[in-house]
Structures are given as structure tokens and as C-alpha cells.
Chain A
Amino acid sequence: MNPLIRRGIRERLRPKNLVASGLFSIIACATLYLASFFDGMQQVIPANESESGLPELISMPVNGAREAFTVLLVLQGFFLMFLGTGRVASVTAEEKEAGLLDYQRMTPMNPFSKILGYLFGLPAREYFMFLLTLPFLLHCMVVGKIPLLNLLQLYAVFFCSVILYHLTAHVIGLVVPKPRAASWVARLAVLGLYVFLPVLGQAGISFLSFLTILPTYFGKIVPHLLAEGTNILGPFERQVVAFWQEIPFFTYQVSPTTFTFVMQGLILLALFATAYRKWRLDSLPAFSKPMGIGLFGILQILLLGSLWPFFSQGEASGLLGQSLQLDPTKVGLPDQLKNDSLPSISMIVVQSTFFLLNLASLLLLINVCCPDPHRQLKGRQRSGRLGMNRVPVLADEAPGGLFVGALVCISTVVYAVLHLLAVSSETVQSVAPSAQSVLLPGLVLLFTALALRAAREQWFNLGFWGFVGLLWLTPMLACLVLAVADFLGNSQLMLNIASLSPLTFFPQLMVFLAPNIFPEPNPLINLSTSIKIGVITSALLATFLSITLFRTLKK
């Protein structure tokens, strides 16, 4: 057995721990499960349907078990996903600070074995508590007549998600310097990555929805949890179940379970690679440059695959996608909303989400992979010592110019493909067939990335994040103040200021480039002015920061 798993069992499952946690688990599970079981079991037969002619209360254990299933699943999730995740993050960070991680780092065990040891050893007690809920699950399956195959699919995805959350927590514990913060940062990261980010899946980027167990739960389990005798889903459940039945990806249809495994597998791979690097040497950045490019490439393929049906046939996925479909007659929208601008609005929403995701990924990768002044100095001194003229381009210490260029190229090419797909499509009419529609966003993305890279490489964390906060968030706050003061009177000024932040510039640009949505001249606002301000500012900023970086490097 892995010594670290054995250590977890020894530390956390001594007899007194077994008794205490076991009792807690059984009592909590029995209370919640039985309460919902008995509640769901009671069924009232209306007077007109009963033999006696009076309303009757009958007992239907099958319905009780089906109702109790979700409660049981939530409790199991609480044990493993909430308690377990916090435990992995806080202990990893505590041991890192105390130096215990260094002891383990020095042992000749393979880093993968160490990662597995931490993943399964630290939450040993939580796994034990989960184990004690299994008899209830068995009861639920037998009495509720839930198909075993569907349950197996759900629990395979459940465990994949648990490992994903625990690995996220472990990596955060390895990266976040303060142990007290790590536990909560990990929980917040898990919430953000696997609860809030999937919401973007509803904006047409379906792959983001598959970071949780929800697609499999709704797609495979919910149809089997209906009360016996009723086969009607509520309107929300019907939409959700339909959404998660088959996933359009490029021109294929993929099952939600397979898609969830692929998505979570890719993230697990990235997290494993990060943890591996951190276990080898704490001072290494989380990703190497080739790894950063690889991850970005995978993200772009997923974006391309998810958006392919939308750009080629105008078929949006997700709840928002459905309400904003290019063919409004397909959904039951109110008549007043069915107008000609709807296809363009949905296109703008999807395009803006595409660029916002790209911006977020660029920010993360530039922050991790571009060397700060310390690392660059180390690289230059080492290469000088080794008699090399320059630091190898893909080394962690190498300047990130080419890296950033590669990322922007990949992103622009993907957008160009989507654009061409829309232009060549017969059903999609909401994209202007001009080169400007691709070149302008690509150029601004390049300027933004170059400015970020220059800031990262010449300033330390405070300077870098200060710069990002100032440029990306302050214009939005200023717009908020102006909007409250006088929305109509300040509208042009607000647009001009908003164009300074990449977060608000791209939606503006998408509106500007969309045909027939915002015909100019407009009496209130002039979008071309704000777009010019945004492009010129980003170009100037990138040039200025690159020059100052060049001067710093020369010194």
C-alpha cells in the first residue's frame, strides 16, 4: 500500500475516530434519508380516484426511495466534496509551510505516488463516512428501482469529480503560501471552477457545463426519479434533461457521461502535471511554456467544437442559447421579442463570451508562464555561466514574447475558423463578411497580451496585479458612477472609458462589427469613436510597456 495512504489511515482512522465519525455519518444519513424517504412515500389518492370515494393516504416506498436519492447524493457530496476538499487543501498547505512536504519531496517515491497518497490518504475519514452511506444507497436502488447502469455512470462521474476537486485543492495547497487561506481558497476555487464557470455553458459554450456531475445527474438519473405512475417532468427539468441528453460537438453528438469524462480528464491531466512539477521542485512555475501552449490549444479545440453547431447552423446549446436561438420560431419566445436583431444579439453574446474566456486564459497563462524579474535574472545568469548566448526559448526563465504570440495566434485562428464557418453558412446571417471582423479583435487581443506580458516581466506581483486591476476594473467602476449620475448624458463618455478595459472593449467591438444591429449615425452614441480610442490605447500601452521592458532587460 502507498505509505502516504497508510499514513492517512493511521492518523485519521484510529478506533476513537472511527467510532465518532462513523456515528456522525450514520446518524446524519439516517435522519436525512429516512425523513425524505417517509415524506416521499406518502401519497394521497384523490377522492374521485379512490375506491371508497374519500381521499386516501397510501404508502409507495418506490417514490420515497426516489425522493430520498437526491438527499443522499447531496450528503455524500458534502462528505467528499466539501469536507474532503477543505481537508486536502488545508493539510497540504500546512505541511508545505511547516516543511513536512520537504521530507516527502526528498523521498525517492515517484511524484505521482505522492500525489495519489495525498489525494486518498488525507481524506481517509471522509471516504469512511461515505462508505457508511452505501447501505442507504443500496436500499434506494432496490426499493426505488433505479437502473444500476445509470447509477454506475453517475457514481463514476461522481468519483471523477471528487478526485478533480481534491486535486484542485491539493494543487492550491501547493501553490497558496498561507495555510489558513488555502482551505477557503480551495473551496472558493472549486465553487468558481465547477459551479459558476459551468453557468457559462448556458451561453452556448456547452463544454463548460461538464465540469460537474449535474449533466450526468440530469441526463441519466432525473428521468428515473419521477414518482411512480407519473411520467411528466416539470418545464425546467424538461429543458435541463433535454439539454443534457446528447451534446453537439463539431458535427458529432456525444453522451453527457463521455463528455464529462473527457472534460474532467483533461483538467485532471493539467492538474496532475502542475502537482508533478510542484512536487519535483517548489520553486517551479505551475506550468511550463509548452504545457501552457498545449492547455490553451486544448481549450481552443473545445471552444471550436462546442461553438461549431452555432456558427455553422445557428443552433445554440444551453438555456440562454435556447432562448436566443437564431431561429426564434423554434422556441416559445414572446412575440414582442421575436425580431430581426435576436440572431445578432445571440451572436454577440457568444462572441463576447469567447473573447472573455480567452482573456481570462491569457491572463492566467501569462501570469504563470512569463518569468518575473527574479526568474529572468536567474535564467540570464545561468545561461551566461553555461556559455549560451540566450536562454532557450521554451525554458521557464525565457522571455515570453514568442509564447504570448503563439497563444494569440492560436486564439485568432480559432476565431477566424468560426467566423469563416458563419460567413459560409446559409442559415447564419449575423456576421459581417469582412476581414476587419477577424483582424481587429485579433490585433486588440495581441496588444492586450503584449501589455500583460510586459507588465509581468518587469514588475512583481503587486505591480502586475495592480496594473491589471487598474486597467481592467477601474474603467468599469467609473462607468458605473457615470451611469448613476446621468446615464443618457454620459453615454458616449461611458463608452469611451469602457473601451479602455479589455473586459468591456470586446463586447463593444462585437456590437460595432455586427451588421444591421447598430446603424450609424446614432444620435446618442458614436461607437466608432470609442472603438478607435480602445484600439489606439491598447496599442500605445503595449508599445510603451514593451519599450520599458526592453530597457529594463538591457540594464
Chain B
Amino acid sequence: MIEVKGLKLHYGDFVALNQLTFSVNPGSIYGLIGPNGAGKTSAIKAIATLLEPTFGDILVEGISALHQPERVRGVLGYMPDFPPIYENLKVWEFCDLFAQAYGLSGEEKQAKVLQSLHATGLKEQMHDLCKTLSRGMRQRALLAKTLVHDPSVLLLDEPAANLDPKSRIDLRNILKKLAGEGKTILISSHILSEIEDTCDSLGFMRDGSMALSGTLDEISRQKDRAVHLKIHLLEPYPALREVISKIPSLSQFEETATCKTKFRVSLDGGEKEATQALAKLVETGIPVSEFICQKPRVEELFLELESASKERGES
């Protein structure tokens, strides 16, 4: 578990992080999103105990990163952006180095090294020199090194940058598997679709502070953003508008095609309200063939947030 409370970080007069507060629960993947200079890397480095915050508190698995950084480092796995690698070591030697540095020895060390290489799909390349690896493979080697001591908290700064689509899918699967094992994962990324597919919760950062935080649904609600329902019928149903007007959670009825079978309505509420609305439609005898709850996309929310903050800045 990661808890960041009122974190402030200065680089001289420049405020890199300003009252940053958020938490990541065990077993979940939290994505930090924000424009360049928003403070994502600074936040991750501060949690990784590599930057000393001006004030605030960071708790990792209940241990204060400010007061007991050495203890916190033991439970952390950290992968920076532009991750470097020891070029002249073989892949297994690279993992072995860190396994030993984290206090593993003997058979346990060997087992953990093999396990992390297996988890990242690098078993076949384990005897290759790191400098001969492709960019995606290097990223995997770093992830293997990050996982070798079995940390309960993972901090990954831009882990999918420079990866090809196949490697990204593999990485996503690995992260989901790790989250399924109960690990707490914090990711920062510019690739919004990646974040959307991988993360359970999101944090939108802007100028060093957290503009919005929560699951996508929670953020939509915070933004007062309506969820849209896409309703397709088998055949036209003239009284549909009337039926919908009687359901309190639905509004803004509109036809999306001329064939009189495709419609879009706004839903005020979450999944419970959507289920109730569908039941009512079916109960009325409306031939519903498709009923899709259209959640807002991370990209839309991000752009909305960006333009809102730009407007605030201009005013």
C-alpha cells in the first residue's frame, strides 16, 4: 500500500509537487497521468526515496519513506524512465547482482532469478549480454531485475515507452498478473490507452498537484460528466422516447441513425441505474438488441482537464 499525504517538493523556488495526496491499495494498479512537467517522475522518485521532499509524508506498507528510507527500499521495486542497464553483464548476471544486493543467497537466489526471468519471458535470452538485447528486451530485463527480490510495491516510470505493441500487451499481462498476486503497482505513463487498459485507478496531475483521482467512474462523476447509453433495437419502436422520459435516470434522448433503431441517452448514475433502466425497457416490451454503457475515455477526460486548466490560466 502507498499513501502520499500533502507532499511538497521544491527545486529551489520552483514547486515540483504541491500538496500531493493520493493512495494506492494492495492488488491495484494506479496510473499517474499528466503533461510534461506535471511532477509524475518527481512523485515516483520521492516515493522511491531518491528525492527528499520539502515536507509531507509518504507511507509505503505503513513505513515512512522520509524517516525510514532504508526499510522502505527493501519492499520497493523501482524502474525509472529511460532505464539504463549494465551493458557488459549477461541477463542472468544482471538479475543475480540485484538478487544478492537484496540479501538473497544460495538456492533461493537462483530460484528467484529464474522465476523473474521466466515471468518476464527472458529465459531464452538469459545467457546473452545485456548490450545485445533489443529495446523491448532491455525493458523486460529491467522488469526482471525489479521483480527479483519479490517487492510488494512496484514503481514503474513510463514502463511501456519504446515498446512495440506485442511487448506492451505482454507487459500489461505481466502487471495484471502481479496485481492479482496482491502487489501494489504505481505507473506513470504518457500512453493514455495503455493506462486505461492496465490501471484500476488514475490520478491526473497538473502543476505538481493531483487534479483528479479515483477510478474512471469516480472521476467521471467528479467531473460531473454524464455516462452515455447506446441503445440499439431490433426494429423501430415509436413510443421509445415516451418510455425513456418516464425513467428518471435517463435524459437527452437522441437518434444516432436514420433507421430509427439506434439511439443514445444520458445516464445519471452508475451501473445500478443502467441495470434498472434496461429492466424497465425490457419490461415495457421494447426489442432491445444492444445496450452499451459508454464510459468516458481517459483521453477525453485528459483533454477536457487540459482545456479547463488552460481556460483557468487564461482567465
Contacts and interface: CB of A to CB of B under 8 A. Distances in A.
B55 A11 contact: no
Interface stretch (A67-75, A99-107, A173-181, A263-271): A99-107
Contact of A107 (B8, B48, B88, B102): B102
Contacts of B88: 10-12, 14
B296 interface: no
A411 B80 CA distance: 47
Nearest to A282: B50
Nearest to A386: B55
A499 B78 CA distance: 56
Given A12-B88, A381-B55, A104 B101 contact: yes
Nearest to A284: B52
Contacts of B89: 7, 10-11
Contact of A381 (B50, B54, B70, B103): B54
Nearest to B99: A3
Given A99-B82, A103-B145, A108 B52 contact: no
B305 interface: no
Given A100-B86, A102-B50, A106-B48, A3 B55 contact: no
A386 B101 CA distance: 35
A405 B5 CA distance: 39
B50 A106 contact: yes
Interface in A151-186: none
A106 B51 CA distance: 12
Nearest to B51: A283
B216 to A, nearest CB: 32
Contact of B101 (A3, A12, A100, A385): A3
A98 interface: yes
B226 to A, nearest CB: 41
Contacts of A107: 73, 98, 101-102
A542 B147 CA distance: 56
A106 B76 CA distance: 8
Interface string B222-233: 000000000000
Given A3-B100, A98-B84, A99-B83, A108 B70 contact: yes
Nearest to A107: B101
A100 B84 contact: yes
Interface in A361-380: 373-374, 377-378
Contacts of A98: 84
Interface string A104-132: 11111100000000000000000000000
B10 interface: yes
Given A100-B84, A102-B80, A377-B10, A382 B102 contact: no
Contacts, number: 86
Contact of B11 (A11, A280, A374, A386): A374
Given A377-B10, A381-B10, A281 B52 contact: yes
A95 B82 CA distance: 13
Contact of B10 (A7, A14, A99, A378): A378
B10 A6 contact: no
A105 B50 contact: yes
Nearest to B56: A385
B97 interface: yes
Interface string B61-74: 00000000110011
Contacts of A378: 10, 54
Nearest to A95: B84
B74 A108 contact: yes
A178 B93 CA distance: 28
Nearest to A110: B70
Interface in B27-54: 48-52, 54
Contacts of B10: 374, 377-378, 381
B303 to A, nearest CB: 31
B141 to A, nearest CB: 12
Contact of A3 (B76, B85, B97): B97
Nearest to B101: A107
A6 B100 CA distance: 10
B197 interface: no
A123 to B, nearest CB: 15
B85 to A, nearest CB: 8
A552 to B, nearest CB: 13
Contacts of B101: 3-4, 104, 107-109
Interface string A1-37: 0011011001110100000000000000000000000
Nearest to B78: A106
Contact of A103 (B55, B74, B96, B98): B98
Given A7-B93, A106-B73, A108-B74, A382 B103 contact: no
B12 interface: yes
A443 B169 CA distance: 71
Contacts of B90: 10
Interface string B184-213: 000000000000000000000000000000
B107 interface: no
B73 A108 contact: yes
Nearest to A283: B52
Contacts of B124: none
B8 A381 contact: yes
Nearest to B14: A374
Nearest to A385: B55
B283 interface: no
Interface string A271-312: 000000000111110000000000000000000000000000
Given A104-B101, A106-B48, A107-B102, A373 B80 contact: no
B148 to A, nearest CB: 11
A24 B88 CA distance: 21
B72 to A, nearest CB: 9
Top 6 A-B pairs, shortest CB-CB distance: A98-B84, A3-B100, A374-B12, A107-B101, A385-B55, A11-B88
12 contacts: A6-B97, A7-B89, A10-B93, A12-B88, A106-B49, A107-B101, A281-B49, A283-B51, A374-B11, A377-B10, A378-B10, A381-B10
Given A377-B10, A378-B54, 9 more contacts: A3-B96, A4-B97, A7-B86, A7-B89, A10-B89, A281-B50, A373-B12, A381-B8, A385-B55
Interface of B: 8, 10-13, 48-52, 54-55, 69-70, 73-74, 76, 78, 80, 82-86, 88-90, 93, 96-98, 100-103, 145
